Amino acid sequence: MYLWKYWRESRIALAVGMVLVGLLLLGVCVHHVGPPLHGRFREQLNPDQIYLVVTSFLTLPLGFLALGFGSFGVGRDLGEGSGSFVLSRPRARASFVWSDWGFGMAQLLLIILAANLVVAWAAHHIAATSGPIYTADGTLSMLSIFSVDCVAGLLLAGLIFGLTYFASVLVKSRGVLLTLGVVATYLIGKQVVKYYWPGVNLPELTLSEFSVTHAMIISFAGGLGWSIALRAALVMAFPVAAQILVQRRDVD
């Protein structure tokens, strides 16, 4: 029953995400796949370049969707005053947190997979090739690029989603504002640090999946495995922190 409650709260966000994917598919079909543009795009862009350009535009809407999904669940119940009813049910409080987190991440994964399938199909169709993409390290298949890009999208969504969920438990209805403030502060602080200490590079919010040379030759970034592992640990830290907070919270 609790998952059904989360579904009723989050289904509009899921619908918005799938509509955006549909618009992406429509845009690809109208502007990139048609015969008049096919030859020109094939001459100017490689599949890997298409992937990098298009997926960069998906970052902002994905972040806002994750923000929306993170504002649902126990944190919303606490903000609306129904937390005493929900958390008094004969069920471990941790189960509410992990039900929210698991179901929200599953919906975000569905959106990410759908969006990346559209981008992969567009890259394949425009380039008119099913062969490998030639890189500095040999060959890089479209499947490997698709897989890593899905992981990168899920890590970004999980970071924003988890931070928003934790913030909603912490400050109730002001969780979204707190998350936006934290993200904005980090982005501004990153630029300040870069300006005053050029040798210090704080991590980007998005995973740096590839390295690209001046000749536009693509390869996986160095230390990619460690970057994924560290980001995954950070993503998991937020639901754990939310669980600890929920278990210790007194609800009137």
* Interior angle at CA 209, CA 157 and CA 150, nearest 5: 45
pLDDT tens-place string over residues 200-225 = 888 888 887 776 655 555 677 778 88
Residue numbers of the domain that contains 162: 2-248
Nearest 5°: phi and psi at 139?
Answer: -125, 150
Digit-coded pLDDT (tens) for 135-151:
445 456 677 778 888 89
Q: How confident is the model at residue 125 (pLDDT cuts 50, 70, 90)?
A: low
CB atoms within 10 A of CB 50: 22
- Computed over every residue of the chain, the mean pLDDT equals 79
Counted domains in the chain: 1
Tens of pLDDT, residue by residue over 90-99, are 567 778 889 8
